[in-house]
């Protein structure tokens, strides 16, 4: 399947970020632990290249910790500032604040020499559905940003303030205008960063089956009570529909319901805590 999604509001978002980056001191770059490399947007990198960057690796509770450690080693090796976060307990809040102060230490010192106390202004960027708004709410200790488990929830520019003298600019999630690497596009579709409305769920489900056949065969079979994953994708759909009782009476199996179940099971970790990207490429 070929994936391409770049609606008008993303063009608007990129223009807004282009102006906003002039007003901020640093950037919080939010990456979903399930697909870290796929969440890198080259257009963001062009905009923020002259700013200190703190990478926040969100949703770490959705993948195996042994896999997260591989990315920790990678980010340490290349000397990037980062924090691993789960966005559930908010226990990384102080760590993120300390890191923001550290990457802005020179600026803070310059103002201090003049007898001034400068607030840190940070712009939060990321592709859709990576947890930007949830992260901001954790940092603020209450709900100040709009949160939703679907891409495209944040549409406008939102400033929020932390008591620690830090101001955060929440920006809408934006994808690259074109996907040169369709594998990355597929991974973003798997984690819900691309709207299901523009995808063919049966095709997406087939891609998930193919991925699971290669990477988590036993978990997939156990979930759907299968003896094996057939080479024929229609046969796999039949087996899953039969196992789940997704029937259309005499018309046969309900493939739409079957496809939706597979996609939802993947997103909700019912097929396992799956990391899609490993640190084999440059970030």
Each residue of 197-240: pLDDT tens digit? 888 999 999 999 999 999 999 999 999 999 999 999 999 999 99
The reported pLDDT for the residue numbered 52 is 97
Are the beta carbons of 256 and 199 closer than 8 angstroms? no
Strand partners, 30: 56
Could you tell me the pLDDT band of residue 86, with boundaries at 50, 70 and 90?
confident
Tell me which CATH code domain 200-267 carries: 1.10.1580.10
**Average pLDDT score over residue span 76-87:** 92
Query: Counting every residue, how long is the chain?
Result: 283
Q: Does 265 have pLDDT greater than 60?
A: yes
46-58 pLDDT, tens digit each: 999 999 999 999 9
What is the pLDDT at residue 217?
95
Q: Which residue has the higher pLDDT, 250 or 193?
A: 193
| Average predicted confidence (pLDDT) for the chain | 88
* DSSP3 helix / strand / coil % (the chain, rounded to 5): 50, 10, 40
Give the class (CATH, top level) of 8-170. Answer: alpha beta
What is the structure's pLDDT at 154?
45
Q: Which residue has the higher pLDDT, 84 or 11?
A: 84
Q: Residue 239: which residues within 8 A CB-CB, separation 6 or more? A: 224, 226, 230
**Could you tell me the residue ranges of all domains in the chain?**
8-170, 200-267
Per-residue pLDDT, 157: 62
pLDDT score at 150 = 44
Residue 152 to residue 172: CA distance in whole angstroms: 7
Distance CA 55, CA 78 (A): 13
Q: Quick one: tokens of 117? A: 């106390």
Q: Is 130 helix (H, G, I), strand (E, B) or coil?
A: coil
**Residue with the larger pLDDT of the pair 166 and 152:** 166
Q: Average the pLDDT over each of 216-220, 269-273, 277-281 and give the range with the smallest value.
A: 277-281
Q: What's the rounded Cα separation, in Å, for the pair 195 and 188?
A: 10
Say what the pLDDT of residue 187 is. 95
Listed range (74-83, 110-119, 152-161) with the worst mean pLDDT: 152-161
Q: 41-48 contacts: CB < 8 A, separation 24 or more? A: 41/125, 41/127, 41/174, 41/175, 41/176, 42/176, 43/14, 43/174, 43/176, 43/177, 44/17, 44/125, 44/174, 47/14, 47/17, 47/18, 47/21, 48/21, 48/123, 48/125
Q: For residues 158 and 135, is the Cβ–Cβ distance under 8 A?
A: no
CA distance 88 to 90: 6
pLDDT-wise least confident of 86-90, 97-101, 118-122, 143-147: 143-147
What pLDDT score was predicted for residue 149?
Answer: 47
Average pLDDT over residues 59-74: 95
Confidence of residue 148 (pLDDT cuts 50, 70, 90): very low
Confidence of residue 143 (pLDDT cuts 50, 70, 90): low
Taking Cα atoms as reference points, which of 183, 145, 180 lies closest to residue 161? Answer: 145
């Amino acid at each position: 399947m070929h994936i391409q999604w770049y609606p008008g509001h993303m063009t608007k978002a990129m223009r807004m970020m282009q102006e906003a980056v002039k007003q901020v001191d640093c950037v919080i770059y939010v990456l979903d632990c399930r697909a870290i490399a796929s969440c890198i947007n080259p257009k963001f990198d062009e905009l923020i290249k002259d700013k200190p960057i703190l990478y926040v690796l969100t949703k770490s509770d959705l993948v195996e910790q042994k896999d997260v450690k591989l990315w920790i080693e990678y980010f340490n090796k290349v000397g990037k500032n980062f924090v691993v976060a789960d966005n559930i307990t908010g226990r990384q809040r102080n760590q993120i604040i300390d890191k923001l102060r550290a990457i802005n230490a020179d600026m803070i010192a310059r103002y201090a020499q003049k007898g001034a106390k400068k607030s840190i202004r940070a712009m939060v960027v990321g592709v859709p559905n990576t947890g930007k708004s949830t992260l901001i709410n954790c940092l603020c200790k209450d709900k100040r940003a709009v949160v939703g488990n679907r891409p495209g929830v944040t549409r406008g520019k939102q400033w929020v303030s932390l008591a620690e003298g830090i101001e955060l600019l929440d920006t809408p999630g934006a994808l690259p205008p074109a996907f040169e690497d369709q594998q990355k596009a597929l991974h973003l579709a798997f984690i819900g960063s691309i709207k299901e409305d523009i995808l063919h769920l049966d095709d997406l489900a087939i891609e998930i089956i193919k991925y699971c056949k290669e990477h988590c065969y036993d978990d997939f079979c156990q979930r759907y009570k299968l003896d094996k994953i057939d080479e024929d994708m229609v046969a796999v759909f039949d087996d899953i529909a039969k196992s789940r009782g997704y029937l259309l009476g005499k018309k046969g199996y309900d493939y739409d319901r079957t496809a939706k179940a597979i996609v939802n099971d993947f997103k909700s970790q019912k097929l396992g805590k799956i990391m899609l990207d490993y640190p084999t490429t440059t970030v």
